[in-house]
């Protein structure tokens, strides 16, 4: 039967923040993506269904959603950081990322210095925001609640550029040829699936599922499905 000792209510609840394709986004009535497929592997190992809760990124990355038991896990293309590790526990890394710059096609912004005196879009609570606060000296940071709002602000010219993770920006550019990724900043980020502090049983289960999936080809299959290579 289902291994319900590790989850709170006979299902595996996942907190995430939409949209963040190809990691998580709505497709019709369903929520789909790379992270969704990975957590489904964990759910099926526990013989339960995954239920996804869409909630602001701030409460995810601060640990609040996990520590108040809103969800069993958080999977949101979320970077493992030392600050976050104080308030939640991460699985082993499952994906690598770096910050990148999105502009309208043909714009001359290739470094953060080029954005001096310009408006730069950042996503609230993210590592991109922190990076821009430190490095985009002289730029005016304009905060957006989610990735969808950030990319459309770039596309419509409300801001000169936007900073976010490379994977999501390259995914956006594929369908929006009037935009371009003009820089990557090699921040060396790694995504982890988070559990509430001290939930070692579930964290270990996730690590085991990730390790098995990397060995037996399921991880590669999911990777190809969402990144096409």
Query: Among residue numbers 49 through 68, which ones bind ligand ARG (CB under 6 A)?
Result: 57
51 DSSP β-pair partners: 13
Looking at the Cβ atoms of 132 and 159, the one nearer to ligand ARG is: 132
CA 68 centroid distance within chain: 21
52 DSSP β-pair partners: 14
CB 164 → ligand ARG: shortest distance, Å? 7
27-49 in b/e form (b: 16+ CB < 10 A) is eeeebbbbbbbbbebbbebbebe
CB 76 → ligand ARG: shortest distance, Å? 4
CB 148 → ligand ARG: shortest distance, Å? 10
CB 35 → ligand ARG: shortest distance, Å? 8
CB 198 → ligand ARG: shortest distance, Å? 21
Assess 78 for contact with ligand ARG (CB under 6 A).
yes
CB 203 → ligand ARG: shortest distance, Å? 18
Assess 39 for contact with ligand ARG (CB under 6 A).
no
Kindly provide the residue ranges of all beta strands, DSSP E only, lying in the chain, ordered along the sequence: 11-16, 25-27, 30-32, 49-54, 73-74, 89-90, 95-97, 99-104, 119-123, 140-144, 161-165, 179-184, 189-191, 194-195
Burial class of residue 219 (count of CB atoms within 10 Å of its CB; 0-12, 13-18, 19+): buried
CA 136 centroid distance within chain: 22
Both tokens of 195, joined, read 């559990």
Interface segment toward ligand ARG; rule CB under 6 A; list 40-48, 75-83, 85-93, 112-120: 75-83
Q: How many residues contact ligand ARG, by CB under 6 A?
A: 14
> Do residues 119 and 158 make contact, with C-beta atoms less than 8 angstroms apart?
yes
Assess 89 for contact with ligand ARG (CB under 6 A).
no
Q: How far apart are CA 21 and CA 227, in angstroms?
A: 11
Q: Decide: helix, strand or coil at residue 12.
A: strand
CB 112 → ligand ARG: shortest distance, Å? 17
Assess 20 for contact with ligand ARG (CB under 6 A).
yes
Assess 127 for contact with ligand ARG (CB under 6 A).
yes
Assess 76 for contact with ligand ARG (CB under 6 A).
yes
Q: Write each residue from 165 to 204 as x if it is in contact with ligand ARG (CB under 6 A), else as -, in one continuous string.
A: x---------------------------------------
User: Contact positions toward ligand ARG, by CB under 6 A?
Assistant: 16-17, 20, 24, 57, 76-79, 97, 126-127, 147, 165
């Amino acid at each position: 039967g289902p291994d319900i000792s590790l989850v709170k209510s006979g299902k595996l609840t996942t907190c995430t923040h939409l949209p963040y394709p190809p990691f998580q986004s709505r497709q019709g009535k369903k929520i789909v993506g790379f992270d969704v497929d990975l957590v489904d592997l964990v759910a099926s190992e526990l013989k339960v269904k995954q239920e996804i809760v869409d909630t602001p990124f701030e409460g995810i990355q601060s640990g609040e959603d996990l520590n108040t038991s809103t969800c069993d896990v958080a999977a949101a293309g979320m970077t493992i950081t030392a600050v976050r590790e104080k308030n939640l526990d991460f699985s082993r890394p499952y994906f690598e990322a770096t910050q990148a710059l999105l502009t309208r096609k043909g714009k001359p912004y290739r470094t953060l210095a080029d954005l001096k005196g310009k408006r730069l879009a950042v996503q609230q609570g993210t590592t991109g925001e922190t990076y821009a606060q430190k490095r985009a000296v002289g730029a005016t940071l304009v905060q957006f609640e989610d990735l969808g709002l950030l990319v459309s602000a770039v596309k419509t010219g409300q801001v000169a550029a936007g900073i976010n993770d490379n994977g999501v920006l390259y995914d956006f550019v594929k369908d929006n040829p009037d935009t371009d990724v003009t820089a990557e900043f090699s921040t060396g980020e790694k995504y982890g699936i988070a559990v509430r502090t001290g939930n070692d049983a579930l964290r270990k289960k996730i690590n085991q599922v990730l390790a098995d999936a990397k060995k037996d080809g399921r991880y590669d299959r999911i990777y190809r499905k969402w990144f096409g290579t």
